Chains A and B, each alone.
Chain A
Amino acid sequence: MSERVVVAMSGGVDSSVAAALLVEQGFEVIGVMLRLWSEADGDLQPRLNPHSATGTPQSSNRCCSVEAIYDAQSVADRLGIPFYVINVEQPFKEQVVDLFVAEYAAGRTPNPCLACNRKIRFGYLLNYARTLGARYLATGHYARVRRDALGRYQLWRGVDRAKDQSYVLSVLGQADLDQVFFPVGEYTKPQVRALAAERGLPTASRVDSQDLCFVADGDYRRFLADHAPEAVQPGPIFDTRGRQLGTHHGLPAYTIGQRSGLGIAAAQPLYVLELDVARNALIVGAADELGRAWLRTGAVNWVAGEPPSGPLRADVQIRYRAHPAPALVTLGADGTAEARFVSPLRDITPGQAAVFYDGEICLGGGIITDAGA
């Protein structure tokens, strides 16, 4: 009796190959697609601002459109496995989208993939897979699971460093890793494409991992203007001495360390230093005012299941595609952490996750709350 695995399929190359590999390894594979959200979709319109100046998006969001379902169903048919679309719109809205909007309104820059992985993919879906009698859940993520000398699970970067998605999987723990497979994490992207081609599967990605899957045209500013117009109001741009230099278009349009698009003529290049939500003000300064030597996080998820016994040296990634920066990580109260960088960074952004690495091993991470010089 082969073991049952549920594979989350998008219709794209990574999850299709993941499913194919598991079928070949003799698992009883069940393909599912999560219906997460529908913008521009008839009956299920999210609450839209009727006065939105930006109008409705031209295309529907990529993640679970009719075309995506068709593509995934075709792959499933080819592999001879059952395929179901599972509706998680309500939980997704409550636990990912609402959080996304609230974070921006609070002056932070969220990465919704973290909440989605924790609550939806490896929360709701993992539980759902269990009720269907599956021992494992597999995805097309580029990451690897290993065990250390003590038998504890470790989360490793994917073989293909450019595609590595361990950052967004930093929310996982021991119980999760015991039940997941990441088949394509053992390969480079070109290798995965070759595996797909050999099997007559699609070789293109369906969703670019960088884009917001639930925003139809990728325009998160329009999305926010539609869902939280109060968070996207123009306000003053100040320098660090409090002089007003101009007007910004709404804080969510700006990110720490950003240089272009400020609309201010100045003697020297100006960079975004801070999003001051209380005053709805954008604080800008010169390049030499940017460096931040430390950051603090909220509660950290340690993949090992418990925090380290003391301070440790780690490489810290402050966003999904950031270069890991060496730092000394110390533990704070209530499971929080502080990272003090060897060299100051210019774009530490509250709301993003600070994820700690020991070489290839992802130790875990927490949401950045603040940073300082």
Chain B
Amino acid sequence: MIYLDHSATTAVDPRVVEAMLPLWTETYGNPSSIYGLGRRAGAALEDARRRIARSLNCQPAELVFTSCGTESDNLAIRGVLLAAAAKGKQHIITAPAEHHAVLHTAADLAEHLDCDVTHVPVDRQGIVDPAAVAAAIRPDTALISIMLANNEVGAIQPVAEIGAIARERGVPFHTDAVQAGGYLPLDVDALNVDLLALSAHKFYGPKGVGLLYIRRGVRLLPVQTGGGQERGRRSGTENVPYIVGMARALEIAHAERESETRRLTALRDRLIGGLTAAIPDITLTGHPTQRLPGHASFLVRGAEAEAMLIALDLAGVAASSGSACATGAPTPSHVLTAMGYSPQEAMGALRLTLGRENTVADVEFVVAKLPEIVARIRGDK
């Protein structure tokens, strides 16, 4: 099998598995317990927190562990808006190409809590204009939420610029960095962000754990209340093994980031070059260079995504169309729609995302196989 869906999820790195092992049956205590076993688990938890804080250039106390990127986004948006209600600020600025975890959460608040949502448009390449964000800010704006990199088209957003504007205007700024985790630098000061969401399973960690960075001073109310863990911001017994795994995974990703970025970029560009040369009527979506290093997304005219994906699966290649969450729906991708593509065009969306184990041979196989598949679907001889 050639796995080309790293944007959807990744395998857990063996080094991460190894790091997690002691936490199942040896250091299994509840970190809140008073006895030695509990304290040792607590130490492992805080050690993981410190290591992640180093990668993000933040304070350990500014990190809240969650179950996934979606939960992190929910905590950021709901938490900030709930707290801002007291000051009469219920306006959210976001963009139509965000992940549903952001869009549906904002929409939910608009429906049930009387919040007001402004969508700043994305251009044809899926990128937000910082000036447009600035223009949308109002006295009652409680939060700006713009992702660091888009899952469907790999577009990297001008987060540092937007963050600078947000800082100047005194508006908290959240970024969903789930797709960027492991690929782009996550220095929260350089990015000018106040809240940042990550999900471990995108960077060779386990599924079921994520985090939210919350800059000291940002007012936020918890979504999940109970025993008061994570400084009262996210109650629930801490998932120590997974958190330790996430820390190790992020460490590895950051240590290898520059060389891996070079390697993936070369593979990605070879894939893009090969496919655009061999298949007529194929378009690269997103930005040609301001995109994630392993991310290749296309629109193939006259071939439906579903048929291409099934044929690829039968040929041993795992790929996807829009986001993994949205498959099976006949409605076109909201991201492509926001970028101005018609439903007709969006039907042929194909996403190939390279990762650690992919090689030149994998790329060459797809460059040879996909044109045949497309030709058959199009009915060409």
Name A residues whose Cβ lies closer than 8 Å to a Cβ of B.
Answer: 30, 35, 43-44, 82, 84-87, 89-90, 128, 130-133
Contact = CB atoms under 8 A, between A and B. Distances in A.
Given A44-B330, A85-B328, A90-B330, A132 B310 contact: yes
B259 interface: no
Contacts of A30: 314
Main secondary structure of the interface of B (DSSP, over half): helix
A35 B327 CA distance: 13
14 contacts: A35-B328, A43-B329, A82-B313, A82-B314, A84-B310, A84-B313, A86-B306, A87-B328, A90-B330, A131-B311, A131-B377, A131-B379, A132-B310, A133-B311
A131 B313 CA distance: 14
A128 B330 contact: no
Given A30-B314, A82-B313, A82-B314, A131 B330 contact: no
B39 to A, nearest CB: 46
A100 to B, nearest CB: 20
A128 B307 contact: yes
Contacts of B25: none
Contacts of B330: 44, 87, 89-90
A87 B377 contact: no
B1 to A, nearest CB: 12
Given A44-B329, A44-B330, A84-B310, 19 more contacts: A30-B314, A35-B328, A43-B329, A43-B331, A82-B313, A82-B314, A86-B310, A87-B306, A87-B328, A87-B330, A89-B330, A130-B376, A131-B307, A131-B376, A131-B377, A131-B379, A132-B307, A133-B314, A133-B376
A35 B328 CA distance: 9
A132 B328 contact: no
A132 B314 contact: yes
Listed from nearest, the 5 A-B pairs whose CB atoms lie closest are: A131-B377, A131-B376, A84-B310, A87-B330, A89-B330
Nearest to B378: A131
Interface of B: 306-307, 310-311, 313-314, 328-331, 376-377, 379
Main secondary structure of the interface of A (DSSP, over half): mixed
Contacts of B314: 30, 82, 132-133
Contacts of A130: 376
Nearest to A128: B307
A30 B310 CA distance: 10
Residue in A35, A89, A132 whose Cβ sees the most chain B Cβ within 10 Å: A132
A43 B307 CA distance: 22
A133 B306 CA distance: 15
A130 B311 CA distance: 11
A131 B312 CA distance: 12
Contacts of B379: 131
A339 to B, nearest CB: 39
Contacts of B331: 43
B289 to A, nearest CB: 34
Contacts of A85: 328
Nearest to A85: B328
A90 to B, nearest CB: 6
Contacts of B311: 131-133
A84 B312 CA distance: 12
Nearest to A88: B330
A90 B314 CA distance: 25
Contacts of A43: 329, 331
A35 B306 CA distance: 12
A85 B307 CA distance: 11
A210 B310 CA distance: 32
Contacts of B328: 35, 85, 87
Contacts of A128: 307
A107 B135 CA distance: 59
Nearest to A90: B330
A102 to B, nearest CB: 22
Nearest to A84: B310
Contacts of A89: 330
Nearest to B377: A131
Nearest to B310: A84
A208 B307 CA distance: 29
A293 B345 CA distance: 54
Residue in B307, B314, B379 whose Cβ sees the most chain A Cβ within 10 Å: B314
A44 B330 CA distance: 9
A152 to B, nearest CB: 27
Contacts of A87: 306, 328-330
